[in-house]
Amino acid sequence: MAEPTILGADGAPLRRTPARRALSRPHATPTTTGVRRLWDAASIASGLTPERLARVLRQVDEGEADAYLRLALEMEQRDAHYRSVLGTRKRAVTRLPVTVEAASDAATDVALADEIRALVRVPGFRAMLAHLLDGLGKGFAAVELRWDTSRTPWVPRDHRDPASGDLVRGYEWIDPRWFRYDRHDGRTLRLRDDTAPLDGLPLPPYRYLIHEPELMSGPALGRGLARVAAVAYMAKAYTLKDWLAFAEVYGMPIRIGKWGPSATEEDIATLVGAVANLGSDAAAAIPDSMQIELIGATAGLSGGNIVFERLAEWADKQISKAVLGQTASADGTPGALGGQQAQDEVRDDIRDADAEELADTLNRDLVGAYLALNHGPIDPEAAPAIVIRAKEPEDIRALSEALAALVPLGLRVEASVVRDRLGLPEPATGEGVELLGRGGAATRD
């Protein structure tokens, strides 16, 4: 392979030897102290109140997103429903077929497309897609590219650092709290560093995949699903806490202790302890002069469990609607929606939009970087494109009838195109371009 000219962010050529060392080593590394700490015990979700949540969201609008990003992570860790529906939306995209389309049928364009197909098959690619889709919840996601430059072509793959011998992951998810948006334009992502804890450092070229799902208009941090689901999460957390407290005493009788006018402080303390022990030990000892009265507990408590259950279900449905676009499959809501195959998990239009945006990110940050590093400047119109798209079932009868009618009239159709539409493999032998001939027979051009 010819030695390419590597260009920096400003368009100027980079020196190849330093570039090779830098591209193969981790860039965003954690520290035990400072702004990129790996371990952080601080919690935002614990004891979350409406006032605290309002403060967290207000900080996002002011450009400080640490607390919000921590909350978004904890919501996935603590709430089973939110984690389930968000995971369902991610998997709806990651399980779609990934294909590569050449810019044209020219030999050079087809060869470039074959290289990108090999890039897609490198281990870790599918996991990287899931890491990028972390941006659905938080508003953005960043994956660092660590290139294996020991052989050509240069590809992000797991490899050993030549200097230390440590294993280096080709694709590495980076904690979003290690980044911040530029204070001036609000759109450029920068890496936080101890030398620039407030403004951050510019990201080097060809090192990061940055995925910012366009879930709505506005700043990226305001578009994350965690932001719209946070209120329902907080309401559900309150509900579960009260529900557990209710369940702890539900069905237990109310215990009332009575003492006479001559009771001492010690006697009263003895009675209080006896009343408490009835709840746990079902046994107590008190003097003859004291009484314990048990009053039925269910009076006034009936129906309380329904209130908590309905509020928790309401919160889950709001999260389902925000993440999946529907509630039928996630919450078991009866009706036609739940019976439609297209609506089993994520609405098709939402899934397809997520897939198209993810493909755009890969074509910009991954395909563009690969071509620049391995081939030098390339016309964007000649670049192959990664496509993530659901395969629609082919109407074989309609296709067959159309070909039977049009081919005898002189329509020239490549047999390979028809085989692709029908999902049939290429013939084992034969060369040249095979065409569907008149009368249904295959001819060669």
DSSP string, 61-118: HTT--HHHHHHHHHHHHH-HHHHHHHHHHHHHHHTS-EEEE-SSSSHHHHHHHHHHHH
Instruction: Report the pLDDT value the prediction gives residue 339, as an integer from 0 to 100.
Output: 41
Confidence of residue 361 (pLDDT cuts 50, 70, 90): very high
Confidence of residue 185 (pLDDT cuts 50, 70, 90): confident
Could you tell me the end-to-end alpha-carbon distance of the chain, in angstroms, rounded to an integer?
33
DSSP 346: S
Q: Is residue 73 very low, low, confident or very high in pLDDT (cuts 50, 70, 90)?
A: very high
The C-alpha atoms of residue 143 and residue 356 are separated, in whole angstroms, by 18
**Average pLDDT of the residues in 55-84:** 93
Q: Where are the alpha helices (DSSP H) in 325-412?
A: 328-331, 336-339, 348-361, 368-375, 396-406
Say what the pLDDT of residue 343 is.
41
pLDDT for the residue numbered 340:
42
Average pLDDT of the chain, as a whole number: 81
- Name beta bridge partners: 143: 173, 209
Where is average pLDDT lowest: 127-131, 174-178, 271-275, 306-310? 271-275
Spatial neighbors of 233 by CB under 8 A, at least 6 apart, are 45, 75, 79, 82, 315, 319
Query: Torsion over CA of 427, 433, 436 and 441, rounded to 10 degrees?
Result: -60
Element holding 48 (H helix, E strand): none
Where do the structural domains in the chain lie, given as residue ranges?
A: 16-229+349-375, 253-296, 393-444
The model's confidence at residue 331, banded by pLDDT at 50, 70 and 90, is low
- List b or e across 274-293, with b for residues whose CB sees 16 or more CB atoms inside 10 angstroms: bbeebeeeeebebeeebeee
Q: Residue 352: pLDDT above 90? A: yes
Decide if pLDDT at 284 tops 90: no
pLDDT confidence of residue 77: 94
The Cα 91–Cα 109 span in angstroms is 31
**Window from 76-85, 100-109, 266-275, 403-412 with minimum mean pLDDT:** 266-275
Q: Is 244 helix (H, G, I), strand (E, B) or coil?
A: helix
Choice among 1-10, 24-33, 54-63, 395-404 with the minimum mean pLDDT: 1-10
- The pLDDT-based confidence of 40 (bands split at 50, 70, 90) is confident
Note the pLDDT tens digit of each residue in 148-183.
998 889 999 999 987 788 899 999 999 999 999 998
